[in-house]
Amino acid sequence: MRFGLSLAYSGSLSFLKDITPVQWRTLVAAMLGWMLDAMDVMLYSFALVSIQKEFALSGTQSGLLTTAMLFSAALGGTLAGYLADRYGRTKVLMGSILTYSLFTAAIATATSFEQLLFWRALVGFGLGAEWSAGTVLVAESWPSQHRGKAIAITQSGWAIGYILASLLAAAILPTYGWRPLFALGVLPALLTLWIRRAVPEPAVWSPTASRVPLRTLFRPPLGRYVLVSIVMSSLILFAYWGLFTWVPAYLASPIEKGGAGLSVVRSTGWIIPMQLGALVGYLSFGFLADRFGRRPVFVSFLFGAAIVTYLYGNLAQSPGLLLALGPLVGFFGHGYYSAFGAILSELFPSGIRATAQGLCYNAGRVFSALAPASIGALADREGIGAALGMTAAFFALGGLLIFGLPETKGRELT
């Protein structure tokens, strides 16, 4: 990690002088939206053990709650891309934040598994829509030579939101239970008041601009880009959601069930170093990708994720080893995410950019939606640690597919 940081940041902070206040406000809006999205979504992972006990849920049912969220995220993200091309990136960003905030708070009212499933699915619409609108907004607003850094900074908000969720869970769950935890999820809605005043649409987008027909996405060369991107995102997102949905439960589950045997409060001390590693991974990826190119950095991170994930799930036999591996799991298991927003935005023209980006990324979410329930079912049979280790193969296969796409470093958006 230190080597990556020294390469990534050496002489790179000079980019700060090139960025305008409007560009910074755009980045902050998208980053905060993504950060608070992560906080709301990941509250479920930390409350999972408590929810399982109250509703007597199996591992399969528990995973299904996230599976439903990911299915709806795929629908919400795809629709949001289309709407962002027609009505504006900023408007769709605000709508997404309102959606995931209000429905996260609604989870606190659930009295049955069916109600949990319903509210969790609605949260997913906001989750998918936020990424589709926010990443395109940033990609179109920042200079091409710094686009990887901008997307990386935006993406790093997920790690901060994950940490916020863990801190809130440690402070609230043991004393007050899981319902007040979800009630706090309504607070991100306030962010939309500032975005409405401070964040304009990017100059490259116009509601009166000529539109690229949707059928263009399925003709050469864009058709091949769409297919490769969908398969790549499917494999990688399956690995991600299969792993990180269950990490808090893995740490808090008894050793006899294949877990680490930590309490919810103690597991926070293992989660935070992991997410600090993720934060460094997000940022390092962006700086490295702007310097060395998207493809070599992407595949390096994905193979690193495959190795450390296997070790974390299968060979970590002590809390000390889990603590040592955690930052590496966070670094490699998250950092590559910064590539999606940059690469996809650079492959497609403006009139259809958000539509294409939303489709490619969120079609992958449809497949990844199977991951939480699949890993949960495997955990019921083989133990949760072994189930997590299985995700390593998906990371490795997804990394190889990047060679099916062109190198897009420095490409100007039109």
What is the predicted pLDDT for the residue at 81?
A: 93
The token pair that represents 52 in the structure block: 């399982």
Are residues 158 and 34 in contact, defined by beta-carbon separation less than 8 angstroms? yes
pLDDT at 380: 77
Residue spans per domain, the chain: 19-199+216-404
Indicate the range of 37-41, 84-88, 258-262 predicted with least confidence. 258-262
Cβ atoms 334, 395 nearer than 8 A: no
For position 209, what pLDDT does the model report?
Answer: 58
Query: Is the pLDDT at 4 greater than 60, yes or no?
Result: no
Angle between helices 59-87 and 370-382 (to 10 degrees): 160
What is the 3-state secondary structure of 104-115?
Answer: HHHHCCCCCHHH
pLDDT at 5 over 60: no
Taking the CA atoms of the chain, what radius of gyration do you get in angstroms?
A: 20
Distance of CA 335 to the CA centre of its chain: 10
Fold classified for 19-199+216-404 = Growth Hormone; Chain: A; (1.20.1250)
What pLDDT digit, counting tens, does each position of 136-189 carry? Answer: 999 999 999 999 999 999 999 988 998 899 899 989 998 999 999 999 999 999
Give the per-residue pLDDT at 3.
47
Q: Which residue has the higher pLDDT, 245 or 92?
A: 92
pLDDT band of residue 311 (cuts 50, 70, 90) is: confident
pLDDT of residue 213: 79
Closest CA to 286 of 343, 243, 233: 343
> pLDDT category, 313, cuts 50, 70, 90?
confident
Cis peptide bond N-terminal to 174, omega within 30: no
pLDDT > 80? residue 6: no
Give residue 268's pLDDT band: very low, low, confident or very high (50, 70, 90): low
Asked whether the beta carbons of 277 and 330 are under 8 A apart, the reply is yes
Q: Looking at residue 11, what is its pLDDT?
A: 47
Q: What's CA 261's distance to the chain center, in Å?
A: 27
Distance CA 333, CA 244 (A): 9
Do the Cβ atoms of 253 and 379 come closer than 8 Å? no
Reported as a single tens digit per residue, the pLDDT across 72-104 is 988 999 999 999 998 999 999 999 999 999 999
pLDDT in tens, 315-351: 655 777 888 888 999 999 999 988 898 999 999 988 8
